[in-house]
Structure 1
Amino acid sequence: MGWLHKMNAYFKEQLSLKNLLKVLLILLILYFLSLTSNVWMSWLTTLRLILTPFLVGFVIAYVVHPFIEFLQKKGVSRKIAIPLVCLGMLMLLIGILMMVVPMVYDKTTELINSMISGLNWLYQQYVEINENVPNILVAGIFQQITTLLNDTKSWLPNFSAILPQLISKVLSFLTNAVFAFIISVYVLFDFEKIRKTIFSLARTIDKELPIYLSAVNAEISGYLHSMLMLMAIKFIEYSLLYMLIGHKSAVTIALLTSIGLIVPYFGATIANFIGILTSLTLPLPNVLLLIGGICVLSMVDAYIIAPIVHSRSSQVPPLWTLLCVFAGGMLLGPLGIMISIPVFMSLRVIVNLVRFRNERYDPLPTEEE
């Protein structure tokens, strides 16, 4: 029961009128914030919509900048390297979309047709077993499922009902994407100047703040380097796997799988789903081999390759990863999911640095104390 005495002593020590007033003041502030949530939440939403393209542009520039530095070391002028890298990145993205979207659309139609054929075959077998006297309820269920699948198939090529909303969303997305891309180009041209300005402002706020910024930059740079290595490894793995089963778009699916690492958990899952969906027209042994290969490669990547590629400091526990992804998605949507892990790593390295500096510089207790 010693812990009860310790807890009681702790509360007696901390429980004072001053501390109670602080708690009450915090609770009062939270109460007023909840009452005015409709006002400031709308302001925050508007501010988020305004700042998102700038944040995306800065993130793109930060990720692309190492490639610019690499080309500069090879003797390529910065004025040439930036348009070259940006154009290559843009062409790669457009190429992937042009190859993946029609392929998924066609395979989805084929999948629905195969499901309808399979249901019809099952129903015929059922009718033969019951000597051409099927149960009315079972016949109705089969008919409803077949009608639902046929309606889905007829809906796929018909976008007339949702065309206005679709055009509006696509135009909004393209506008923000183009704006973010232009911002990233400007940031890349003035990257060193922006970096010096940030460190100068940080130094005016606190002399030790640039130390934390440097630590965060080193941590994120290491994470991005490891991520690029994992993307290359995953591209090679899945290219060989899809070629082994005879997939016609092996390279495209493998590239999509490797890029899916940008979005933790969800990206790779969606890419694997697309890979399995587009392989359902292959023979059954090939599909089973693909599913088994994806399971094996996922385990190997998660428990063998990733720990080797990532440094010990850049590893994030799975539960923290899920929490960060969920919180990032709730706050900022897809962008929040993508930056959730780097943000967590930044906060972690700051906390560790503060703790290390306190442990290092705080005076040790003397024997008398």
Structure 2
Amino acid sequence: MDSRTVFRNTLIVLATAAAAYILLIGIRVWIVLLIAIIIASAVRPLVVRLNRWRIPSGLAILFVYGGIALSLVILVLVVVPPVITQMANYLEEEDRLANRIVFTQLWIERRAAEFTGNPDFAIADQDQTRAAVDDLVREVRTAAPNFLSSISGTLGEAALVFIMGVYWLTSYNGAIQFISELFTVVNRERVRELIFEIENALGSYMRGVTAVALIVGIANFIPTMLLGVQNAGTYAFIIAVGTLLPVVGALIGGIIAVFLALLTSPTQAIIVLVVFLIVQQLESTVLTPRVMSRTMRIDPLLVMVAIFTGFAMAGPIGAIISVPIIGTISILLRRLVLEPRRESVKHKVEAGAVLLNLGTEAAVISVPSETPASGASSAPPTSPSGIITSSR
């Protein structure tokens, strides 16, 4: 190995390490960019439709994103303040919160004792419960500044998602043209088709997730409202937002909603819990697997494996982007590996036999007839498998 080869290999290793380091440092920026592209892919059909109505592209993009932002702001202003007010009152008066939790505990213990026939049934000592509540309140007060800081960072990333999405839609044609020109003239059209397919899959995924969250929110809101649960819209909103996070999101949202309802009334908490469990069964067994498998065109089992893997590797963010990533990989494998391999195996049928062109060899698969014609010439001897292989 000469010095030039050693230098080239060393340069490749250093460049790869530098690229990996840059990617690792800016991982959150790449995640924000991916989320922006997913959202932009989801709303692009609406932008295209507005363009057909002779609305300029820039105005159509601003109209769509402005509508999304306005809807989110109105929704948050309607459902979030009751929760913040309730929690702020409890944090200011921790004795009131402790009394409410102890009252709920006693109510559960009485119902459990009646159900089990054990009069000594107890969840925990009341003093221990009060001490745990005091510790929780202190931890929340300590973590409040960091939580507010994280909220500001999240709002900044959300604004960045909107900005990146707008730029992606405005420069969409130019970006596709630039990427396709990186390849040979023969492959450019194929690259464009591949990009369009990936974008359609990402957009369908986002629309599917949003539809599932909307259905879950409505399905939780209507029964709880009809049964007289206070702040039913808030609880439904929390559960719907949690549904956007695959696998564990709905469970986390349900726990938070039930806990908040429990602070108001044990009866309301039971109503919220029962409705949530019924809707959750529908969502986990019917809605999510079907929507995910149809939008990304991958098996529901593979969807679940991807979600668990993404959550184990990168937490909630990894779970959110795991399905788009596995869907993109699936499309790339199908278009770049599986389909070319199928096209390379050409075949034709002659005299009841399938001729396979395997490149260096020709394979003849005989297809025997159930009622051979009389006087037909006998077929040449074949192997027990019915396949004759001859070198060209």
* TM over 0.5, shorter chain: yes
Choose which of 100, 106, 116 in structure 1 pairs with 2:102.
116
- Residue of structure 1 equivalent to 2:383: none
Task: Tell me: higher relative CO, structure 1 or 2? Use CA pairs within 8 A at least 6 residues apart.
Answer: 1
Give the equivalent residue in structure 1 for 2:215. 233
Quote how far apart the aligned CAs of 1:366 are: 1.9
Counterpart residue number, 1:82: 61
Question: Which residue of structure 2 aligns with residue 191 of structure 1?
Answer: 172
The equivalent of 1:355 in structure 2 is: 338
Q: CA RMSD in A?
A: 4.0
Separation in 2, partners of 1:221, 1:121 = 48
Q: Is the 8 A contact 2:40 2:166 kept in 1?
A: yes
1:7-65 CA distance string (max 9 Å, x none):
xxxxxxxxxxxxxxxxxxxxxx9xx99xx99x887544223245444334333322332
Question: How far did residue 340 of structure 1 move?
Answer: 0.9
Would the aligned equivalents of 1:111 and 1:280 in 2 still touch at CA under 8 Å?
no
Mapped contact 2:79–2:233 kept (Cα < 8 A): no
Of residues 323, 326, 347 in structure 1, which corresponds to 2:305?
Answer: 323
- Picking from 212, 217, 225, the partner of 2:199 is 217
Whole-Å separation in 2 of the counterparts to 1:308 and 1:196 = 34
Deviations 1:326-352 (A, max 9, x none): 433455554332221011112123323
Contact 1:56/1:180 (<8 A) preserved: yes
Report if aligned partners of 2:39, 2:206 keep a CA contact under 8 Å in 1. no
Whole-angstrom CA distance in 2 between matches of 1:359 and 1:308: 28
Match of 1:15 in 2: none
TM-score by length of 1: 0.69
The reply to whether residue 243 of structure 1 matches residue 222 of structure 2 is no
CA contact (8 A) 2:41 2:199 kept: no
Q: Which residue of 2 aligns with 1:366?
A: 363
Alpha-carbon separation, structure 2, partners of 1:339 and 1:86: 21
The question of 1:269 aligning with 2:251 is answered: yes
Which segment drifts farther, 342-351 or 300-309? 300-309
Letter in 2 for 1:83: L
Rounded Cα–Cα distance in structure 1 between residues aligned with 2:107 and 2:269: 21
Q: Distance in 1 between matches of 2:169 and 2:246?
A: 26
CA contact (8 A) 1:103 1:278 kept: no
Contact 1:239 1:251 in 2 (8 A): yes
Q: Which is strand-richer, 1 or 2?
A: 2
Secondary structure of 2:182's counterpart equals helix
Residues 63-74 of structure 1 mapped to structure 2, 5 A cutoff: 63-74=42-53
Output one character per residue of 1:139-175: Cα deviation in whole Å (capped at 9) or x when no partner. Answer: x95434322313434654x45x763x44554444444
CA distance in 2, matches of 1:95, 1:198: 39
Per the alignment, residue 54 of structure 1 pairs with 33
Residue 129 of structure 2 is aligned to residue 148 of structure 1: no
Quote how far apart the aligned CAs of 1:276 are. 1.6
Asked whether the equivalents of residues 235 and 254 of structure 1 are also in contact (C-alpha less than 8 Å), the reply is: yes
- Give the 5 Å matches for 1:140-179: 142-153=126-137, 156=140, 158-159=141-142, 163=145, 165-166=146-147, 168-179=149-160
- Does the 8 Å CA contact 2:258/2:269 hold for their aligned counterparts? yes
Aligned match of 1:303: 285
Which has a greater percent of helix? 1
Question: What is the alpha-carbon distance in structure 2 between the residues aligned to residue 185 and residue 46 of structure 1?
Answer: 24
Letter in 1 for 2:326: F
SS at structure 2 position matched to 1:366:
strand
3-state DSSP of counterpart to 1:246? coil
Does the 8 Å CA contact 1:96/1:256 hold for their aligned counterparts?
no
Distance change >3 Å, CA 242–CA 328, structure 1 → 2: same
**SS of structure 2 residue aligned to 1:280:** helix
* Amino acid corresponding to residue 345 of structure 2 in structure 1: D
CA contact under 8 A between 2:208 and 2:292: conserved in structure 1? yes
- Matched residue count: 319
SS of 1:240 mapped into structure 2 = helix
Q: Tell whether the 8 Å contact from 2:292 to 2:300 is kept in structure 1 after alignment.
A: no
Q: Residues 173, 306 of structure 1: CA spacing in aligned structure 2 closer, same or farther, 3 A cutoff?
A: closer
- C-alpha contact 1:245 1:290 (8 A) present in aligned 2: no
**Hey, what's the Cα distance between the residues in 2 that align with 1:250 and 1:119?**
22
| Whole-angstrom CA distance in 2 between matches of 1:105 and 1:329 | 28
Identity %: 21
Query: Aligned partners of 1:118 and 1:236: how far apart in 2?
Result: 28
- Pick one of 84, 94, 101 that aligns with 2:73: 94
TM-score (ref. length: structure 2):
0.65
Amino acid at match of 1:254: A
**Letter of the 1:47 counterpart:** G
